[in-house]
Structure 1
Amino acid sequence: MKCILVSFVVFYALFALTFCSLQRQFLYFPQDASHVYGEMNISFDVDGTQLLGWVLNEGQPKALIYYGGNAESIEANIPFFKSVIPDYTIYLIPYRGYGNNVGTPTEKVLYSDAVHVFQSVKTKHESISLMGRSLGSGVATYVAANRQVDKLILVTPFDSVENVAKDIYWMFPVSWMIKDRFNSLGRVKEITAQTYIFVAEDDRVIPRARTDQLIAEFSDQLVEVIVIAGAGHNDISQFPDYVSGLKRALD
């Protein structure tokens, strides 16, 4: 019995150490840029580092900045945005380490880069709206809480990465170990933008409780919650109700 207990403690400690040291590799899955959708055509200088990305429909008075998921090639959205939102200038800027961008993604650096991009483009447009999907919802809420934003669109969002991790790794002291928390829940009261939240009914990545907890924190700034029947975490944008809801939100 003593041998079993010792083995269990050793296994627990090793697994916890592995989680602690590799947690960012569990959170971020950078994708290389695909040129199928066109070459990158915009860049931003952030403290000497070039962030490259795509800008669509240049010259529109309204703009939308999109923040992708943790394993998303955001350029794959180019045909969708061109057809669905032609009257907005769309900014698709991969995170550091994603696409052709150098560097390593962390919560702090994603926030800093997002604010820099926002500041760089705001003078070119009458209004700026933000759209964040999954991990990107955590970036979007940060910018919306710290800058004046017209509309905020959150797709398959969570209350915090910390709480999602707690649901998965319930046996570990996650709050002590986690580095990147993406605490959208704690920022809701600072958000003034008209907010729309899209929920995938059959989401198997973000537990519904994590999204519902975030929704419950909003008050008057929450305009609509759109539940897409039959949609999963990764295919929500393929559903007509998602398209119509997005058009309605950005009308």
Structure 2
Amino acid sequence: MKKFYVLICFFYILSGNAFSKDPMKIVYFDNFQPFSWQENHKMQGILIDVLNEALQKRMGIPLIHEGFPWERAQLLVKKNEADAFATVPTPARLEYTVVCKEPVINSTFTLFVNKNNPRINELKAVKNLSELNKFKLGHYIGSGWAKKNLDKMDIYWCGKLDQTIEMLSRNRIDAFIDVSQVVRYNVKKLKHEDVIIELPTIFDKSPFCLCIGKKSGYSNILNKFDETMKKMEADGTLEKIYQKYK
């Protein structure tokens, strides 16, 4: 009888249904609406809803969601004090994480400007990133995309995303380029739609992927996660979640 139970446990583990015994701790940027933000001590947003559906509901993995300033959140995964985050994979992040193939959401990067900026016509003429080097840009600390693409430009670094938008609303910076869905949502939330406009040129497209720390006990779940995400796209679940935040 004892051997029988040992065999059951062995095959249970091999089946892929047994994960790390501790809940999977996923960390987020705590001020990145509508993708992730903290309200009343609880994380919410597109990333949280998608990962709850895929990992917790469909794959049976218990989750803990925690929000931090973005640079700190990434450091927690790097130090193996958290299991994962969802963001744009960069060479720096790939050094310490393994990444899914099926994105949690696809993002576009567009330019946001103050319509009262005296250089508005120059800004409207910008068609590639290199042309931004003659302007004062704003961004938030911890953005891997900005470090990779805007590193040598004149950037005023803010502690939070909404601080960057406030700087733009006051014409303290010329432009802010980041994830279109996120900036658009926050401009509306902060009631700056009357002065901040989005220009139509798309400068980049990037997938937000589940990035799991290489030392995490959950680093082996990505194949099943990708299969689950494909099913969620096929049955319309992903689009329903996205629509909630438009």
TM-score clears 0.5: no
Q: Quickly name the TM-score band, shorter chain normalised.
A: 0.3 to 0.5
Select the structure that is richer in strand. 2
Select the structure that is richer in helix. 1
TM-score by length of 1: 0.32
Please tell me whether Structure 1 or Structure 2 has the larger radius of gyration of its CA atoms: 2
TM-score by length of 2: 0.33
